[in-house]
């Protein structure tokens, strides 16, 4: 594909043009291997996260809600979240049939699953709440015993659940498949689970937090006021073995290019199961699978600080005894669920990152191999990451400046511990350590585009600042597959990670070694050469020129290209955006223009 240039830019077409960031495909001349799966964002896939199709989910006194045979008292008692927003639902005087709150004429999607839920608490002379809907084949009701915390009589069209929400509260739910498009989701107050006829004794229960979701599973409660809520979030994808990953910024959708990572192992063996005994917990409880995780599954756990536990009291969720030889990289996904204050991830030596749950900012403490990161991955999910040289390798998490109410907390997902100097993409574990293999793209035959004697090699990459280090390779053209080929042309990060380096090596001698400062995550480097005339430019800086270049017949025989590799060793731990080769030695002005940032 041709490119239009202005000014000093050339009109020469590249004989190789691998524009990974824009094409998002592999050229058929590239062989790609990775012996395991790996995760990435594809830039467009999203998944439904929180949903509550009701308005005024805590305001049953609002005209939005229909009432029958009932007296309702707003803001009458303490709700599960500690606020005085729960409402008293009483049978109206003179009635012998239980009262109800319902939403009339609600529109459903036919042949779809819905989940209806409510928080309820027994009051005086009433121990049951009933959940009814008339869109799955009749007026179908399931009953819940608020004294014993058990599901009562269950309608054949329902899948029912009840869970203890603390202080006498229970969350009750039914899931059903619709057979019509309009009906009434209803909350009833009853003292018996098998009859609508009850004693006229002004019995009542408390209710709070109504929710209706178009899905087949219950998720964490989402508060609504004047509008229903349906949220979506970017979905972390899984590429199977030997499938390249063209990654994207999850929040902006920006294409980052071809992801190249070295082999890594997650030594946390229960990366998503925080309710498991593998994790030690002090003053915390964990409710499993409460909301949609970054990968789109209902697998994120809710970590709840025990009721009444406040700052200054020992509270933590930990995993210790993680084997390491001296470098430790920690990471976890976190999302706030109604808490104030902070959440801290740290190692056992007092190094870590504190995340402000109210404004999504971070602060660091201790000593690090790279600056800690709070990466926004969409819909208020953040991935906290840091690396240290500690050998006290406890994975340690806790909250600060918040008093537990038994309801609010933080969602956790995807804990990872790597024996390395920086974190990499998430590796799921379910009971044992898991290793993600290295990404290895190569061009096995470069003869159809490589020009004997002269040429210009261009590489463009993005490496996050936390991953920057010496000798990261962008592109290496070599004559053999040995670790240190004696004849090669390559562009890489130098021994100083703040420099870009270009090398032309002939018969094991470096006939050109260019170093240009480029203290940036984004690198654009052009290396032009022919006998006794070679130059390099990086990010529009340079050029550096060498007039004593020997281009030997061995260089003419370069046969293999290693993408994201130094010599023949991969592991850029970043993104290759573009690789180009021009079958001529471009001028110094042209390569400067080509490499402009």
Phi, psi of 317 (to 5 degrees): -125, 125
Residues 428, 411: Cα–Cα separation, whole Å: 17
Contact 445, 29 (CB under 8 A): yes
* Contacts of 584 by beta carbon, 8 Å cutoff, 6+ apart: 12, 451, 454, 455, 456
Domains and CATH numbers, the chain: 16-39+439-594 (2.60.120.200), 51-230 (2.60.120.260), 266-435 (2.60.120.260)
Rounded Cα distance between 231 and 457, Å, is 45
- Exposed, middle or buried by CB within 10 Å (0-12, 13-18, 19+), for 147? exposed
Q: What global pTM score does this model have?
A: 0.92
Q: How many CA atoms lie within 13 A of 432 on its CB side?
A: 2
Dihedral (Cα; 481, 483, 486, 491), 10-degree rounding: 90
Give me the pLDDT at residue 497, please.
Answer: 66
**Distance from C-alpha of 122 to C-alpha of 144, rounded to nearest angstrom:** 10
Q: Which residues pair with 135 in a beta bridge?
A: none
Residues 6+ away with beta carbon under 8 Å from 137: 157, 179
Reduced to 3 states (helix: H, G, I; strand: E, B; else coil), residue 555 is helix
**3-class state of residue 30 by DSSP:** strand
Identify whether the C-beta of residue 64 lies closer than 8 Å to the C-beta of residue 58: no
In a structure prediction context, what are the per-residue pLDDT tens digits for the chain, which is 597 residues long? 333 334 455 678 999 999 999 999 999 999 999 999 999 999 999 999 999 999 999 999 999 999 988 899 999 999 999 999 999 998 888 887 778 899 988 999 999 999 999 999 999 888 899 999 999 998 899 999 999 999 999 999 999 999 999 999 999 999 999 999 998 888 776 655 666 666 666 788 999 999 999 999 999 999 999 999 999 999 999 999 999 999 999 999 999 999 999 999 999 999 999 999 999 999 999 999 999 999 999 999 999 999 999 876 777 888 877 767 788 899 999 999 999 999 999 998 899 999 999 999 999 999 998 889 999 999 999 999 999 987 777 899 999 999 999 999 999 999 999 998 899 999 999 999 999 999 999 888 888 888 878 899 999 999 888 887 777 888 888 776 666 767 778 888 876 667 888 888 777 666 677 778 776 888 899 999 888 888 999 998 877 677 766 665 555 455 567 787 776 666 788 999 999 999 999 999 999 999 986
- CA 424/CA 571 separation, integer angstroms: 11
Tell me if 258 sits within 8 A of 340, measured CB to CB: no
């Amino acid at each position: 594909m041709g490119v239009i240039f202005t000014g000093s830019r050339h009109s020469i077409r590249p004989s190789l043009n691998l524009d990974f960031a824009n094409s998002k495909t592999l050229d058929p001349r590239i062989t790609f291997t990775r012996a395991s799966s790996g995760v990435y964002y594809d830039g467009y896939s999203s998944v439904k996260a929180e949903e509550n199709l009701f308005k005024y989910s805590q305001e049953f006194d609002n005209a939005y809600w229909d009432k029958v045979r009932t007296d309702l008292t707003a803001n009458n008692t303490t709700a599960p979240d500690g606020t005085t927003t729960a409402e008293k639902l009483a049978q109206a005087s003179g009635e012998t049939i239980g009262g109800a709150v319902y939403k009339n004429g609600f529109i459903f999607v036919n042949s779809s699953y819905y989940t209806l839920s409510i928080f309820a608490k027994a009051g005086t002379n009433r121990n049951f709440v009933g959940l009814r809907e008339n869109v799955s084949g009749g007026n179908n009701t399931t009953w819940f015993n608020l004294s014993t915390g058990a599901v009562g009589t269950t309608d054949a069209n329902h899948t029912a659940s009840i869970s203890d929400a603390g202080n006498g509260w229970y969350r009750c739910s039914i899931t059903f498949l619709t057979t019509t498009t309009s009906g009434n989701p209803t909350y009833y107050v009853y003292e018996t689970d098998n009859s609508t006829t009850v004693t006229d004794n002004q019995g009542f229960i408390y209710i709070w937090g109504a929710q209706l979701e178009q899905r087949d599973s219950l998720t964490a409660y989402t508060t609504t006021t004047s509008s229903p809520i349906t949220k979506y979030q970017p979905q972390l994808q899984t590429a199977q073995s030997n499938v390249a990953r063209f990654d994207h910024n999850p929040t902006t959708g920006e294409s980052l290019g071809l992801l190249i990572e070295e082999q890594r192992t997650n030594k946390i063996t229960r990366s998503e199961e925080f309710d498991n005994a593998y994790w030690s917990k002090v003053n915390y409880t964990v409710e499993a699978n409460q909301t949609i995780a970054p990968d789109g599954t209902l697998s994120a756990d809710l970590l709840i600080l025990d009721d009444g536990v406040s700052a200054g009291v020992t509270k933590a969720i930990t995993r210790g005894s993680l084997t390491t030889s001296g470098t430790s990289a920690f990471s976890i996904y976190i999302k706030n669920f109604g808490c104030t204050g902070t959440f801290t991830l740290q190692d056992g030596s007092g190094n870590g990152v504190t995340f402000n749950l109210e404004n999504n900012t971070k602060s660091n403490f201790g000593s690090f191999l790279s600056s800690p990161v709070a990466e926004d991955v969409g819909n208020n999910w953040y991935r906290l990451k840091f690396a240290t040289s500690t050998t006290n390798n406890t994975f340690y998490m806790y909250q600060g400046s918040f008093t537990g109410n038994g309801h609010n907390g933080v969602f956790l997902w995807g804990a990872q511990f790597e024996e390395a100097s920086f974190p990499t993409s998430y590796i799921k574990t379910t009971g044992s350590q898991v290793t993600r293999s290295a990404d290895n793209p190569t061009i096995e035959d470069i003869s159809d585009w490589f020009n004997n004697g002269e040429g210009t090699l261009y590489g463009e990459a993005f490496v996050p600042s936390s991953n920057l280090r010496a000798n990261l390779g962008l592109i290496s053209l070599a004559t053999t597959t040995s670790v240190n080929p004696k004849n090669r042309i390559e562009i890489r990060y130098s021994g100083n990670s703040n420099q870009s380096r270009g090398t032309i090596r002939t018969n094991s001698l470096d006939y050109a070694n260019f170093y240009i400062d480029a203290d940036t995550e984004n690198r654009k480097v052009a290396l032009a050469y022919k006998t006794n005339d070679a130059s390099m430019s990086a990010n529009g800086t340079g050029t550096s020129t060498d007039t004593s270049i020997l281009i030997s017949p061995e260089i003419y025989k370069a046969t293999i290209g290693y993408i994201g590799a130094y010599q023949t060793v991969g592991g850029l731990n970043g993104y290759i955006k573009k690789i180009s080769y021009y079958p001529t030695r471009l001028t110094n002005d042209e390569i400067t223009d080509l490499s402009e940032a």
